[in-house]
Amino acid sequence: MARQPAKRAKRAAAVAEPAENGASAVDKIAGLLALIATKDMEKETAALKLNAIGFSSREIAALLDVNESFTRVARFRKGKKR
């Protein structure tokens, strides 16, 4: 019975370790879920949704294949519409 917690800790450490390209498995899963959630959206709407979820401008730019300033402009435009 003492071995199971050790196995779980080892597995958790493996998931949290960065992969070859610097992203952990958890980050990859989060990115994949973000792409699924914004699949049929326009890029500006998707950028705003990902921003609301908590992704940074750099992460949004990588996910949507746009530059970082695009996300900042999208946030600015949203604020002006109010």
The number of folded domains in the chain is 1
For 28-74, how does the pLDDT look when each residue is reduced to its tens digit (9 = 90+)?
898 889 889 889 999 999 999 999 988 999 999 998 999 999 989 99
Task: Identify which of 7, 50, 9, 44 has the alpha carbon closest to the alpha carbon of residue 31.
Answer: 50
For residue 70 the two structure tokens come to: 């695009």
Full residue range of the structural domain in which residue 47 is found: 3-81
pTM: 0.64
Residue pLDDT, tens place only, 4-40: 555 545 544 544 555 556 778 898 898 889 889 889 9
